[in-house]
Structure 1
Amino acid sequence: MPPRPSAPANLRNGLKWRDGRPRWEPSPANRAMGFAGLDLRAADGAWMDRGAAIAAADARNLWAALVRLAARDDDEGGKARRDLRAALNQLSPVPADPHARRLVADLIERGRAVLENREPDVTAALARGPRTVQAMIDGFFADRRAMTRIAAATQEAYRVHSKKLAARFGALQVSEITPGKLKAWHDDLVDQISLSTANAALGAAGAMFRWACWQDPPWIERSPYDKLDLPSPDGRIVFWELDEELAFIPWCDANGYPDVADGLTLGLWSGARPIDMCAADLHELASATWRYVPTKTRRKSQEALPGLLQPVRDRVARRTAEVAADPSLRYLNAAPYLWDPVGRRRHTTRSLRYRYNAALEAALKARAVPETLTDKRVQDTRDTCVTRLYDAGVSLTRICSWGGWSEKSRDTILRNHYLHLRETGAIEDAEKLRQWAGRQGLALSA
């Protein structure tokens, strides 16, 4: 057994070392403020090593000194309160190191109490008072009927984002939350994380505020989320070229990744999202068309109806023969179109992404496919199919029916996100313009 590390020497940050067990002890001034000592353990419960213990003690000592100064009723206290407010405002709603945040959580709470001129340690009790935001969150997830209307993956995402909502507004009454407060929270999330995460967090909050409006009697008359006009992130506009498809799909078949080839083919020629491809049963793809309600628009019952061309029919025939040869490939009495050979079950979006990444890495390493595939993803097949339809002269109305968009949203979704002015199209249009100029008597060089 290795010897216990010796205690660090000449430290003035409150760190005490007792036979290998580090502990932060408050100084007399900090003890007079009521700050408690703390055993310094890692996230797994083990005692911290020397470096981690010194860092943790430094953090507690720094926060304790700042809060202690901020509690003074003099000019120095006023300056310290400004510094404390700035420090609290800079705290990320999703800390990079949650355990490090927990080690100073009591001092952070004490600092907030100083700035808000209230007794400390009341946040947790207040947070679950009548009609607080935390109570709304708890009620939302406890509502069985509300949960049955939300997909399991969406529930999981909402639970993740609800922690951000609780951290920001948990102790406030639901009626106190204004569009302005939500917008400020959104701005902070954009600065600290990303626009897409901020929008997702606000969307989850919107669902919970809507739930509060539907209670009898309602907690609030109108959701503060309804008045927000949030910016949308730039769409990912990436397309598969034919040479990439014709190189990668046969390589997948020849190198043990036929399930990846199945998914790519269905995506490229139907425009379905990965989640809907994973949910499709084999018999649903056995006719000339595939009628389904996309998971994303299930609440609106917005139906999609793509036609199925020969590439998809060939993949369906391959899977049908595979299932006939091995009945164990069935799943709950139905054969899924996308089968995960590793997990021996229906593919999920996660398992399909894992298999795709493995196949792409191997194909690129073997130099069997174009390098341009490096940044391509499975979900890019939807953009590709829509663009192919548009290039083929299919009307926007028919594209909406094919992919499951509403007529109301067709211009926003298709024109602003999916339709892309590709270089080849621009060159063709420039040639048409040159020919028109020639007919008008203006000769332009070819």
Structure 2
Amino acid sequence: MKKSKGPRIPLVAWRDGRPRYVPSATARARGEKGQDLKHPSGSWFTYEQAFEWSQEKRAALSASSHAGGAERAPAAPAGPARGTLPAAPRRPATGRSGRTLAHIVTDFTDRSPRMLGKDIVEGRKVRPALAPKTAQYYRDAASLVRRLDGGDFWARPAEAWHPETISLLLDRAEVCHGLAQARAVRAMLSQAFANEVKLRHRKNNPMRFLEERLPVLPPRVRYGSVEEIRHLVAAADLVGRPEVGDMVLQGVWTGQRQADRLSLTHAQLRDLTLAFRQAKKGGQPLEIPVARLLEKRLAATARRRQQREDALREGGTPVVVWPHVNLDEKAGRPFKSKHYQHVFREVANAAAWGLWRVPAEDGGPPALATVVPSGRPAPRHIGTLALARLPARGAVEVLPPMPSLLDLRDQDLRDTAVTWLARAGADKMEIASITGHSLKTIDQILQHYFGLHPDLAKRAIGKLEDWYMGAEG
């Protein structure tokens, strides 16, 4: 099974969310063997049960090591009798209540009905479930806290969490991961402590008494030039990820968010018109004509997909026909948001660092490679070699470096669409009809773009001159 990044517990590894005892090399030398942490009934241990088991196991190993005797694993908790409910697991003795920040956060992220996609309906009170993206936002922030400073904050007792402790945590999060991540941690902790109050584990939410306020992130204003977008799409095609090039062009020529493009289906493509209903905040439906460049790209995508399906059928492999326009073509299934972000970043990095054909060491055909700067992660999801330096001879440049792409994000494609439309002479009503911005906010949004390119000023002066010449007559 694939090892997942579950909660960190000594001696316990998490595989697909299931705990397993993994003895150290010393313990293995003494005869210890790994085991799945299950109840006799076959159900897996919860986080609290795995934590308690780990504490007992470590104590047993320590006692056995000092006594020089054989080590024995503590028995798994016995399953409940038929027809009875299982007893609540004992909390590790880390404070007066036995609760830690880990319990506070996981009670919210893993047990709160709204986080689990369930609506809360109590009489006339209705609280809709959190959107999947919002829930993932909170879980990512929880994962950051779990890893921060080796889990020091994660294991602190619940009684220790006061405004001063929280301020220290937020400061460490900002120092280590930046302001955006610190704000995400703050938002998650606010919800987690509110849930703790609701469960009556504490009387008040300490987040309300924080004196320090994190600054608001400055608005990000970044749009891609025509040269940058062409370069990025060329890189996607070269590294064997043309579907990323498709997503880039759809972002520029439709102005839609990443989530709306990833969920786009063939049913939304009718008579060279893309029908979008934006997911964010119940957005209005949009009918966007397909540009000629995008039409050619969609046709090429359809041919690639048909060729892949034909090859699978000829080999006797069952074919799943997905309704999505954009697929992870290596896996043959729709992209997950996080995975797409990783693939996009690797394509953009390769475009920024440049691509070369280099001779293979075994005398085979040349391989595509990119020179990865020291300290940067090597690509995992695109078909390129990661080199520290180019070979002395034989390397042929196929795509020159464009360092400006290092800070281009997929979210900037929406900004690019607005900027290009403004440069092309579209007014705010026309831009809103493409991007889906509300008329109430369109002026505020466009003020970031209208002064960013000299083409706009030139066109305005040209209009002024035409009016002036007419006024003279």
Give the TM-score taking structure 2 as reference length: 0.52
Is the aligned partner of 1:338 residue 2:326? yes
Q: Is the 8 A contact 2:224 2:416 kept in 1?
A: yes
Q: Is the 8 A contact 1:132 1:170 kept in 2?
A: yes
Match of 1:305 in 2: 286
Q: Which has the larger radius of gyration?
A: 1
Q: How many residues align?
A: 317
Is the aligned partner of 1:292 residue 2:277? yes
Match of 1:388 in 2: 420
Deviation track 1:70-115 (CA, whole Å, cap 9, x = no partner) reads xxxxxxxxxxxxxxxxxxxxxxxxxxxxxxxxxxxxxxxxxxxxxx
- Please report how far the alpha carbon of residue 196 of structure 1 lies from its aligned counterpart in structure 2 after TM superposition: 1.9
- Please report how far the alpha carbon of residue 206 of structure 1 lies from its aligned counterpart in structure 2 after TM superposition: 2.8
Q: Distance in 2 between matches of 1:263 and 1:317?
A: 14
Match of 1:421 in 2: 452
Match of 2:254 in 1: 270
Of residues 390, 397, 402 in structure 2, which corresponds to 1:371?
A: 402
Say which structure is richer in strand: 2
Match of 2:48 in 1: none
Match of 1:321 in 2: 303
Of residues 147, 170, 178 in structure 2, which corresponds to 1:186?
A: 170
Give runs of aligned pairs for residues 206-221 of structure 1, distance below 5 A: 206-212=190-196, 220=204
Match of 1:224 in 2: 208
CA distance change for structure 1 residues 229 and 436 in 2, over 3 Å: closer, same or farther? farther
- Please report how far the alpha carbon of residue 383 of structure 1 lies from its aligned counterpart in structure 2 after TM superposition: 1.7
- Superposition misfits of 4+ residues, deviation over 6 angstroms: 225-228, 430-441
The code of the aligned residue for 2:343 comes to: S
Q: Is the 8 A contact 1:132 1:171 kept in 2?
A: yes
Q: Is the 8 A contact 2:96 2:159 kept in 1?
A: no
DSSP-derived class of the 2:273 partner = coil
Q: Is the 8 A contact 1:206 1:225 kept in 2?
A: no
Q: Distance in 2 between matches of 1:247 and 1:160?
A: 35
Q: Is the 8 A contact 1:133 1:173 kept in 2?
A: no
Q: Is the 8 A contact 1:209 1:225 kept in 2?
A: no
Q: Is the 8 A contact 1:213 1:220 kept in 2?
A: yes
CA distance change for structure 1 residues 246 and 190 in 2, over 3 Å: closer, same or farther? closer
DSSP-derived class of the 2:303 partner = helix
Q: Distance in 1 between matches of 2:188 and 2:95?
A: 19
Is the aligned partner of 1:351 residue 2:343? yes
Is the aligned partner of 1:238 residue 2:222? yes
Give the TM-score taking structure 1 as reference length: 0.54
CA distance change for structure 1 residues 171 and 412 in 2, over 3 Å: closer, same or farther? farther
Is the aligned partner of 1:158 residue 2:141? yes
Q: Distance in 2 between matches of 1:323 and 1:439?
A: 57
Q: Is the 8 A contact 2:355 2:400 kept in 1?
A: no
Mark the runs of 5 or more structure 1 residues left unpaired by the alignment. 1-43, 48-122, 442-446
Deviation track 1:357-378 (CA, whole Å, cap 9, x = no partner) reads 4466327973546736543635
Q: Is the 8 A contact 2:222 2:416 kept in 1?
A: yes
Deviation track 1:398-446 (CA, whole Å, cap 9, x = no partner) reads 6456445556665665545x665224435656788899999999xxxxx
Q: Distance in 2 between matches of 1:221 and 1:136?
A: 12
Mark the runs of 5 or more structure 2 residues left unpaired by the alignment. 1-22, 27-90, 118-129, 357-369, 371-395
DSSP-derived class of the 2:153 partner = helix
Q: Is the 8 A contact 2:253 2:294 kept in 1?
A: yes
DSSP-derived class of the 1:366 partner = strand
Q: Distance in 2 between matches of 1:399 and 1:147?
A: 37
Q: Kindly, what percent of the aligned residue pairs are identical?
A: 19
Match of 1:362 in 2: 355
- Please report how far the alpha carbon of residue 384 of structure 1 lies from its aligned counterpart in structure 2 after TM superposition: 0.7
Match of 1:147 in 2: 116
Say which structure is richer in helix: 1
The code of the aligned residue for 1:312 comes to: L
Q: Distance in 1 between matches of 2:415 and 2:331?
A: 29
DSSP-derived class of the 2:276 partner = coil
DSSP-derived class of the 1:311 partner = helix
Could you say what the CA RMSD is over the residues aligned between the two structures, in angstroms?
A: 4.8
Q: Is the 8 A contact 2:432 2:438 kept in 1?
A: yes
Is the aligned partner of 1:125 residue 2:157? no
